[in-house]
Structure 1
Amino acid sequence: KSYRYNPMRKASNQNESLILHQNIQILKQPFDYNKCGKTFFKRAILVTQKGRQTERKPNECSECRKTFSKRCTLIVHQRIHTGEKPYVCNDCRKTFRVKTSLTRHQRIHTGERPYECSECGKTFIDKSALIVHQKIHGGEKSYECNECGKTFFRKSALAEHFRSHTGEKPYECKECGNAFSKKSYLVVHQRTHRGEKPNECKECGKTFFCQSALTAHQRIHTG
């Protein structure tokens, strides 16, 4: 089979080669994206970057792409990356990322333990510790408060709780007349009159009226 020379076909092939060459040269040139200042050597990468910039959610962390429903939550999260800890404890100068962590930590110094187990009276610095502790009691809570519906394992615990509704404070201090809803509160209070602080920290010598306050304080030294 014979082939006839076609000058138009040769020109067409040359044009295709020229266009291909020009495209290669274009791809070799860097592309600047004016939104973020980044430079790319492939147009496809540039397009992808543009997509990322336009698709970014309002409260998205630029470091890890995690998103948040509120801007204030994003700001707190970003401190993980920056290492910023703006909340400082005045007692020991320990720093924290969020205010709630500082508040919880300060209870170590004050001895405050606002979360109390309704079954055994044991107190805790934070609610999570109380929840874990309550699991040791187990069993069925058969005593229910008819005022608020809260239930208890023991009848005595219900009776003690019920005083929060009635305001009854049967335990009175003979020194000053102050009254308390629990006997344990009275015992701790009476130490203030005697100046008694039997719970001393062996690390720094600081003393406390109750063992729970000392235990909470000692966490400063143990970390």
Structure 2
Amino acid sequence: MWKRFCAVQQYLNIHIQSHTGEKIYPCKICGRHFLQAVSMDRHIKEMHTGKRLCSCEICGKSFLKADNLKSHMRRHTGEKPYSCKICGKCFVDKSAVNAHVRIHTGEKPFSCKICGKCFLQFSSLNRHMRIHSGDKPYSCEICGKCFSDSSYLNTHMRIHSGDKPYPCEICGKCFSQSGHLNEHMQIHTSDKPCSCEICGKCFAQSRFLSTHVRIHSSDNPYSCEICGKCFTCSSSLNVHRRIHTGEKPYSCEICGKCFLRSHDLNRHIRIHAGDKPYSCEICGKCFSQSSHFNTHMRIHASEKQYSCEICGKCFSRSWNLNRHMKIHNKKNITIEKHVESVP
């Protein structure tokens, strides 16, 4: 009876640790911690001994157990034998179904001891804990940059490989991340639910609106350590730093020309491909860049947003205004010379 009680208590203790996130079994080789000793032993066999008996014939990935290989093979075949009884959505393995069901029930059994935030899955809690610890165990073998999650590393590697597996079915533009594709799709749907209360400009996502609002507040929290120039978002600062370092990480495979930003490279590649994805619905004229398309549309709309501060004349293009300003500059120079010549 006492032995049975101890066994039950042991399982209870293990279960409680799943809620607290406490991991008391460290791997002596890499330092990674585990909830259970059996999980640590499995980790050592799979990651450090190199003994993987079952390998996938399609992608070559190896596994310690046949069950793990069987579950992995479903990713190639598309088989999803486990379904949610509430909504009918199907999944590759049972653990994925269990995690999904919590979306319907609202259950978040895994909580962070530090900030109290709760999660649907234990893996999500693990990933979250690295924010507090600053742990970044996944490093890029090419540039050395480190990441807190393997998925972030996989996404980062596409910068080096140039891989863009997510294409837009409407215009053919490709993206390295599914999130970027989803953002892009809103260009075609014109769905912009987030609007600025000050100027009324609309955005597809709230994060774009948050960055935009800083224009009105003059809030530029990201500053360059070299020249002191400030920016509204961190991505703009990162691009700006390359001006100082001379770094141009995006190169054209056809002509070798290098660029500061990925979208500059994408725009350049259209020159080689002859691709013009932006077409005018009124006259049918096509353009390789959205900025050229927007400028063209002002011709049909008779919109002239660039006005001369001296005479009030308006123009549809900024370079037309700049050329016009030279007329006033020449007049000023002529008047000054006339004044100087008067005795």
Give the structure-1-normalised TM-score.
0.37
Compare CA radii of gyration and give the structure with the larger one: 1
Between the two structures, name the one with larger relative contact order (CA 8 Å, sep ≥ 6). Answer: 1
Query: Normalising by structure 2, what TM-score?
Result: 0.25
